[in-house]
Structure 1
């Protein structure tokens, strides 16, 4: 054998044994037109994957299939998957990111405040995972990633509905991990802390400064940092990781 690595590489190339780039996968990211969801979609696009994004009003990143979908409508979810499957094939990676808030103290929280957040954040994720799992079971592989929140682990005043919805994703992922693991399908959770997005931009300077004092790293996350955790969970390096909760919170919720 040659002692020159360059010669070895040439020999491998001549023998047709060069390493092939991974095949592009069909990836679906819900709520991928802004903030964390957009960063996630762009990260998969950068890897060369075939990415579809669901939105209510459009605005998917360049290169992504823009699919209009209201995840509170089961028929709309089914139609969205049919559109993605026709364009990109069966969904191999699902990132359930779409979510809403309706913050208020519990004594002021209406039935609608509660039900709308639960139906979007928790039940919507159930609808997505159920529909995605059909194709994944046939493929005998797949990755499901739920975007939760540090609030779902720590709680937060004024967010009883939101915290409950995000905590529920952990139980959902772990149950799916047990149900689907034998078919090569993983289900995991990413729990971001405070992230520099449109949602946090509306906070006052005083509120933003106060939040930073609670975070050991002393800053907000960049959406790209959350996206990195998601793409790792969806990649080969995390093939033996399932039922996990990966915090991206600067240490805010450590121990949870």
Structure 2
């Protein structure tokens, strides 16, 4: 990463992936503005960093733009935006109502859209290039019980990432996403059972993800090393999206039809 003083806005910075992203950028010498709904955890997460906390509920329609403008005006022009805030309530499809559906979409999709739009408008007006990284999820590719609202929101976020990349590339603004596999975050905002964690965390590399794994990918996407990368979804999941390691071999031997050079009637071709 460059040692030049730069400024990043990170949403969901009170814990988990967002907190690790904020800490990683601060360690690289960046000025950080961190946003979260929970004031005490946010301040604790940013304590000791060159960081400014902003408390906001990003589900409010005017909050994303207000937060971006405040960060830009108080901390200096932004060089990067990381949308890490998200909620993951468990609710069976038949019990899912409009209010919960709308809140998940508001936090997970609408807020990033509004934040990217506000950031891009300021950057274009100032003639500054920039970088956006949205935090997606493997749930964008595979539905799971109790997560219709969440999986839909992350699938939408990935298309939003591509659409914004197409429209903002000409202004020098790159837009990418990181799609984590299961990451141990011990989140009070989005708790999961150990049974669930064990079921979704199996992957070819054999360990659960850590917030630092995702933070490192985010910082690479923002860095000059990725200056020709935009509109991409980077899967950082230990190989989980490549395939499963939990299925047995479906049949141990070749049949006559499957054997190369063997006539199904018993002779050789």
- Interval of TM-score (by shorter of Structure 1 and Structure 2): 0.7 to 0.9
**Aligned residue for 2:53?**
66
**Aligned residue for 2:246?**
none
Shift of 1:201: 6.5
**Aligned residue for 1:114?**
101
1:160 and 2:148 correspond = yes
Distance 1:104 1:131, change over 3 A: same
Shift of 1:71: 1.2
**Aligned residue for 2:65?**
78
Within a 5 Å distance, the mapping from 1:38-77 to structure 2 comes to 38-58=19-39, 59-60=42-43, 61-62=46-47, 63=49, 64-77=51-64
Shift of 1:69: 1.4
Within a 5 Å distance, the mapping from 1:1-256 to structure 2 comes to 22-58=3-39, 59-60=42-43, 61-62=46-47, 63=49, 64-137=51-124, 138-199=126-187, 202-204=192-194, 206-212=195-201, 214-254=202-242
Question: Aligned partners of 1:231 and 1:69: how far apart in 2?
Answer: 24
The TM-score normalised by the length of structure 1 is 0.86
Shift of 1:202: 4.2
Question: Aligned partners of 2:242 and 2:226: how far apart in 1?
Answer: 21
Distance 1:107 1:45, change over 3 A: same
Greater shift in the superposed pair: 220-229 or 49-58: 49-58
Question: Aligned partners of 1:234 and 1:139: how far apart in 2?
Answer: 18
CA deviations 1:95-146 (Å, max 9, x no partner) are 0111112222211111112111011100111111111111221333010110
Q: Greater CA radius of gyration, 1 or 2?
A: 2
Shift of 1:87: 2.4
Distance 1:155 1:71, change over 3 A: same
- Write 1 or 2 for the structure with the bigger share of helix: 1
Aligned residues: 233
The TM-score normalised by the length of structure 2 is 0.82
Segments of 5+ residues of structure 1 without an aligned counterpart are 1-20
Question: Aligned partners of 2:179 and 2:54: how far apart in 1?
Answer: 25
